[in-house]
Chains A and B, each alone.
Chain A
Amino acid sequence: MTATLEELLCVQVSAELEDGGLGFIGLGTGGRSFAFAVGIPSVAVALAHRRGIDFIAQYGVALEPDIENAPRCFEDRNLLTWPSSANLAVETCLDGFKRGKMSVGFISGAQIDKYGNLNSVAIGDYRKPKVRLVGGIAQPDHAANAKRTIIILPHARRTFVEKVDYRSAFGFGDGPGHRERLGLIGGGPAKVFTDLAVLDFHPESKLMRVVSLHPGVTRQQLVEETGFALIWPDEVPTTPEPTEAERQAIAEIDPDGAFLNGRIF
């Protein structure tokens, strides 16, 4: 594959974005996790805009900012002068989640399980964790309330686990019917994008299943890097590589790797 993994994921995620959608992108924590949580969704939205899609990105509290001219440092005064249609109070923005205004939530985590539940709080015993992570942030709010969530995270056996150590963001919970029993207004996880594959969830069993493998990735490799049994289609397609035109557009949107190499401070 000549394209980078990040380019491939940007195009894949962008294809999920539809007219009239509204998606929230947070501000992320550090380096590679910034690229997954913020960089890829940002470039995906900019690509959708170049295709003429009317998709509103809520970027923290900035509504539809000029992504292609994002500040290279997210300190307050740069965000204050970033051209946007609104700079909402954060509680107003988060109230919009609960009001059902959010059609897509972009989320990530340190662990995901077969039902798409995420953990960004603690690995191991919660009271005396092996690794203490950053906390839930707004991910529980996305997961409960967005019409669909798009999960982007690196694929590894320690990340894709049978059951998350701490369920901080609700996917399909314990399985079919759990979201409905709780009365959660959001639809749950729609797709999972990793460095190895695209995955979704079986409509009845709500178990994670393979949609496509990225170029050069084998079935054996995905099995080895996943800590639970995946559902496989009869024929496993290969994730399409980005076209030259798409790669050129990404280079224009992110010429200095601010988004895709996580270089925004």
Chain B
Amino acid sequence: MPGSRIPERLVSAQEAISVIPDGASVAIGGHTLRRHPMALVRELIRQRKRGLHLLGWNNGIDFDMLIGAGVAAKIETSYVGMGPLGLARNLRRHVESGAVETVDHSETTAIDMFRATALGVDFLPNRTPLGTDLMTYNDGLVEITSPFTGQTYAAVRGVEPDFVLLHAHSADVHGNVQLDEANWGDNTVDPFIGRAGKHVIVSVEEIVSTEHIRANPRRTFLPREYVTRVVHAPFGAHPCCADARYGYDQDELRRYYEASKTQETFEEYLADRVTSVGDHWEYLDKVGVANLLTSATHTSNVKGADTA
């Protein structure tokens, strides 16, 4: 076993998020409605952060909620949508009014901005955005020429976000973060995002012993040298799904989407689900054990079955 002077990094969500200053750049892991660190996102709203520059590779309810709550000033990603529900309504409202600035990417350029930094270089070459308006409006995409072949590429600027927020399956108190063996391929960008950040906060479904980590070392996707803080947040991606751990809470997603129709109804939703609730544990009480366990154990997965 490593020595006894290993620092402990397990803190509450309040403490982990409290160090984030207004105006910071904050990258958020997950994909569309998959494994976003929603407990940490809700804590950003509770602590009334302002002016954040959000980064991601493909985002959904995470960005939409932060935009609607007035937390985000600028967003940088390839997608903000509500997946099967449709367009992200807070995004629409606040980008169309000019309140939130957008920096657009393709999926590959968004991934490359994290991957560059994780690889220890300040850009990666990518042909995809050539000739598109992605290059017109994003100063992180600049034309360059290969010294070997003369091929034109877009240089995708690497980013080093001030903070990275991720959700994962398990960790020990020292910040060795693991995913179960079964994890969906769209969730594999998180390690790159984690390795690109200056200060990395990871919420996890469960805290496990260091012995448990060490007995399953191949499951560690972010070892402790990359991780600043670990937060215990069971169902921390709710109402998103989280690999094999649990599915969507479709009722909650629909309630959110309906509420996001107007700023007024959205603020009522935030008051009910986020700001009137002390912390993630109270949030879980509010959602209710039956609802949580339903999303964890019920699915309509069969051809010809009722999908409602």
Q: Interface residues, chain A, CB within 8 Å of chain B?
A: 27-31, 34, 60-62, 68-80, 87-94, 97-98, 121-122, 126-141, 144-145, 166-170, 173, 178-179, 182-185, 255-256, 258, 263-265
Give the residue among A76, A130, A178 with the most B Cβ atoms within 10 A. A76
- Determine whether the beta carbon of A264 is less than 8 Å from that of B84: yes
- Nearest A residue to B83 by beta-carbon distance? A29
Interface assignment of B185: CB less than 8 Å from any CB of chain A: yes
Residues of B within 8 A of A258 (CB): 303, 307
- Determine whether the beta carbon of A136 is less than 8 Å from that of B300: no
Interchain nearest-CB distance for A255 vs B (Å): 5
Q: How far is the CA of A92 from the CA of B80 in the complex (A)?
A: 22
Residues of B within 8 A of A139 (CB): 106
Residues of A within 8 A of B305 (CB): 72, 256
Partner of A132, one of B58, B95, B242: B95
How many Cβ-Cβ contacts under 8 Å join chain A to chain B? 216
Residues of A within 8 A of B102 (CB): 126, 132
Q: How far is the CA of A232 from the CA of B82 in the complex (A)?
A: 39
- Determine whether the beta carbon of B32 is less than 8 Å from that of A27: yes
- Determine whether the beta carbon of B301 is less than 8 Å from that of A73: yes
Q: How far is the CA of A45 from the CA of B190 in the complex (A)?
A: 31
Q: How far is the CA of A217 from the CA of B137 in the complex (A)?
A: 40
Q: How far is the CA of A80 from the CA of B105 in the complex (A)?
A: 27
- Determine whether the beta carbon of B87 is less than 8 Å from that of A133: yes
Q: How far is the CA of A132 from the CA of B88 in the complex (A)?
A: 9
Q: How far is the CA of A169 from the CA of B107 in the complex (A)?
A: 12
- Determine whether the beta carbon of A130 is less than 8 Å from that of B133: no
Q: How far is the CA of A72 from the CA of B307 in the complex (A)?
A: 6
Q: How far is the CA of A30 from the CA of B82 in the complex (A)?
A: 8
Interface assignment of B77: CB less than 8 Å from any CB of chain A: yes
- Determine whether the beta carbon of A30 is less than 8 Å from that of B87: yes
Q: How far is the CA of A184 from the CA of B85 in the complex (A)?
A: 34
Of the candidate stretches B2-10, B124-132, B272-280, the one touching chain A is B124-132
Partner of B106, one of A70, A140, A167: A140
Partner of B107, one of A121, A132, A137, A179: A137
Interface assignment of B62: CB less than 8 Å from any CB of chain A: no
Q: How far is the CA of A48 from the CA of B230 in the complex (A)?
A: 49
Contact with A along B73-101 (1 / 0, CB 8 A): 00001111111111110011001111000
Interchain nearest-CB distance for A263 vs B (Å): 5
Residues of B within 8 A of A134 (CB): 79-81, 87-88
- Determine whether the beta carbon of B92 is less than 8 Å from that of A132: yes
- Determine whether the beta carbon of A140 is less than 8 Å from that of B96: no
Partner of B58, one of A128, A137, A183, A265: A137
- Determine whether the beta carbon of A144 is less than 8 Å from that of B127: yes
Contact with A along B272-304 (1 / 0, CB 8 A): 000000000000000000000000000111111
Residues of B within 8 A of A256 (CB): 303-305, 307
Partner of A30, one of B84, B91, B105: B84
A72-B88 contact, Cβ under 8 Å, with A129-B95, A170-B132: no
- Determine whether the beta carbon of B301 is less than 8 Å from that of A71: yes
- Determine whether the beta carbon of B189 is less than 8 Å from that of A75: no
Q: How far is the CA of A146 from the CA of B102 in the complex (A)?
A: 27
Residues of B within 8 A of A255 (CB): 303-304
A138-B133 contact, Cβ under 8 Å, with A61-B185, A73-B248, A128-B98: no
Interchain nearest-CB distance for B306 vs A (Å): 8
- Determine whether the beta carbon of B247 is less than 8 Å from that of A91: no
A265-B84 contact, Cβ under 8 Å, with A72-B300, A76-B184, A184-B127: yes
A140-B132 contact, Cβ under 8 Å, with A134-B81, A135-B79: yes
Q: How far is the CA of A139 from the CA of B108 in the complex (A)?
A: 10
29 A-B pairs with C-beta separation under 8 A: A29-B81, A29-B84, A29-B87, A30-B83, A30-B87, A72-B307, A80-B182, A89-B185, A90-B185, A91-B115, A91-B188, A94-B108, A94-B111, A98-B127, A132-B95, A134-B88, A135-B77, A135-B80, A136-B104, A138-B78, A140-B134, A141-B107, A144-B127, A167-B131, A168-B106, A168-B134, A169-B132, A179-B131, A264-B307
Interface assignment of B46: CB less than 8 Å from any CB of chain A: no
Residues of B within 8 A of A70 (CB): 303
Partner of B86, one of A27, A31, A145: A31
| A-B complex: 10 closest residue pairs judged by Cβ atoms | A61-B185, A30-B86, A140-B106, A89-B188, A134-B81, A75-B241, A75-B247, A132-B95, A76-B184, A138-B107
Residues of B within 8 A of A71 (CB): 299, 301
Residues of B within 8 A of A78 (CB): 247, 299, 301
Give the residue among A126, A130, A137, A258 with the most B Cβ atoms within 10 A. A137
Residues of B within 8 A of A166 (CB): 133
Residues of B within 8 A of A28 (CB): 84
Residues of A within 8 A of B22 (CB): none
Interface assignment of B167: CB less than 8 Å from any CB of chain A: no
Residues of A within 8 A of B263 (CB): none
Q: How far is the CA of A167 from the CA of B106 in the complex (A)?
A: 12
Interface assignment of B244: CB less than 8 Å from any CB of chain A: yes
- Nearest B residue to A76 by beta-carbon distance? B184
- Determine whether the beta carbon of A74 is less than 8 Å from that of B84: yes
- Determine whether the beta carbon of B131 is less than 8 Å from that of A265: no
A91-B111 contact, Cβ under 8 Å, with A60-B185, A73-B299, A138-B106: yes
